[in-house]
Amino acid sequence: MAFTDTRFNVNLSILFTELPLLERPAAARAAGFTAVELWWPWVDAPVPEQAELDALRDALNDAGTRLVGLNFYAGQLPGPDRGALSIPGEESEKFRANVPVAIEFATSLGCTTFNALYGNRVEGVSPEEQDRLALENLAFAARAVAGIDGTLIIEALNAPESPKCPIVSAPKAIEVVDAVNAATGLDNARFLMDLYHLSMNGEDLDEVIDRYTDKTAHVQIADNPGRGAPGTGELDFDALLDRLKKAGYDGWIGLEYKPGEAPSASSFAWLPAPLRAAP
């Protein structure tokens, strides 16, 4: 890997999951990483007890790991990605209740980037109604995030693994980003470019990078097939990350891959230790 100024972070919701949540920051730091991101850790609690928030904050601070990205509440993850913000009733209400809690927690750690998973299609509700609700909730989140000069990011998932998700292409995700910015006038919604999901959708990654890097605020990577570490599949990450850099991207590259059967710490052989700490 020839990118000495690339900023890599590790996602503690898919890596180091063989450990309890509060032990993962220290494990990531022991593996050389100084920056991490998280899906919302409490899948059944959009508003967890303050003691749980404090304990995770302390674990991150004590380990010397910086939080650089956080998902808003999205329901049961991992699993078939479903989101919450486009599902009427209790799920939508949970999403809205979570937004101020997530913002307060993240900003106490210096994090201002928030991922909002759109949500799967559900029976008994028209796609049009779900899309209307989603735009309302995304605009709500974007306005809340604007209060701390933050960024709301929208990602495309992949159709084979998340067949009920309506956002399964880069152009569709960009359409949602543009709609949120138009609704709020804030221009703080951006694209989360997950190269694994996009490759699973059969998209031309070079074209996606060339067309959408200027609207991208975060990048995540995993190899394809298998969603493993770079080098376990067929994607050319040297070329892809070089193309991103030439397109003007200088943000975080989130490692969101499955470590396989071995402990997570053994899955980073592809990334030289000096590149794991933020430059």
Q: Please report, as a single letter, which amino acid is at residue 220.
A: Q
Report pLDDT digits (tens) over 20-37.
999 999 999 999 999 999
Residue 129 C-beta-side C-alpha neighbours within 13 Å: 10
Q: Which of 37, 91, 155, 203 is catalytic?
A: 155
Active site residue 175: no
Q: What share of the chain is helix, strand, coil (3-state, %, to 5)?
A: 40, 15, 45
Q: Residues of the chain with pLDDT > 70: what percent?
A: 97
Which DSSP letter does residue 74 get? -
CA–CA gap between residue 59 and residue 5 (Å, rounded): 27
Residue pair 142/99 in contact (Cβ under 8 Å)? The answer is no
Report pLDDT digits (tens) over 237-277.
999 999 999 999 999 999 999 999 989 999 999 999 888 98
**Claim: this prediction has a pTM higher than 0.75:** yes
Looking up tokens 């880069």, which residue turns up? 170
Report pLDDT digits (tens) over 135-184.
999 999 999 999 999 999 999 999 999 999 999 999 999 999 999 999 99
Mean pLDDT, the chain, as a whole number? 95
CATH superfamily assigned to domain 7-275: Divalent-metal-dependent TIM barrel enzymes (3.20.20.150)
Report pLDDT digits (tens) over 46-82.
999 999 999 999 999 999 999 999 999 998 765 556 7
Q: Which of 37, 91, 203, 256 is catalytic?
A: 256
The reported pLDDT for the residue numbered 194 is: 98
CB atoms within 10 A of CB 5: 8
Active site residue 155: yes
Q: Which two tokens stand for residue 24?
A: 């993962």
